[in-house]
Structure 1
Amino acid sequence: MTKAEIVERVAGKTGVSKKDAIEMVELVFDVMKSTLESGENLKIHGLGNFTVKQKADRRGRNPQTGEEITIEARRILAFKPSMMLKNSINA
C-alpha cells in the first residue's frame, strides 16, 4: 500500500476532500517521524511499538576484498506488532 492509497481510503472513510486527507496523512507521518527522530518510542494501540535502538560499533568484512572494516555505530528503527495485530493477521 502506498501513501496515495492511504490518502484515498482516509478520504473515502471520513468524507473529507482529498486535499484535506493528504494534509491529515502528512501531519500524522510528520509527527511520527519527528517523535522517532528525537529518540522517543512510539506506541500505537492495536498496531504496535516503534522503538529506536542504538547499535554499537562492530567489526565487519568487505565481501569483495576480505578486508576487515569497522561498521560505525548507528541508530536503527525496530517495530514490534501488538498482539491484536498478530491475532487479526493470523485469524
Structure 2
Amino acid sequence: MSTPIIPPFSSLPIRPDGPHGNAWGLYGPDDNIGRLNLLTPETTFSAIREIRNGIRISTDWSLDSMLQQPCFGRKPFEQTIINKAP
C-alpha cells in the first residue's frame, strides 16, 4: 500500500465558490466524501498493527447527549446547516 500524496495547503485546489480555505476538488469534481477517501480497505487492514490490548472505546457519542450539560466548562454543541446546492 502506498501512502497517499497530500499536497501542502498552499497547493490545494481552492474553489472560488466555496468557503475560505476550502479544498473542494482535491479528490475530483464529483467527490462527496472528502478525506473519507483515505479510509480504504488497505488502510483499515493496516490498522490491525496498532492494536495493543484489545480495549476499545466508542467514538460515535451522540452530540445530543451534551446539549444540556456539557463537560469541562465547554459551551453546548450547536449545529447550523447551510444548503449551498444550486
Asked if Structure 1 and Structure 2 have the same fold, meaning a TM-score greater than 0.5 normalized by the shorter chain, the answer is no
Structure with more of its chain in helix, by fraction: 1
More relative contact order in 1 or in 2 (CA 8 Å, sep 6+)? 1
Structure with more of its chain in strand, by fraction: 1
TM bucket, shorter chain? under 0.3
TM-score (structure 1 length as normaliser):
0.23
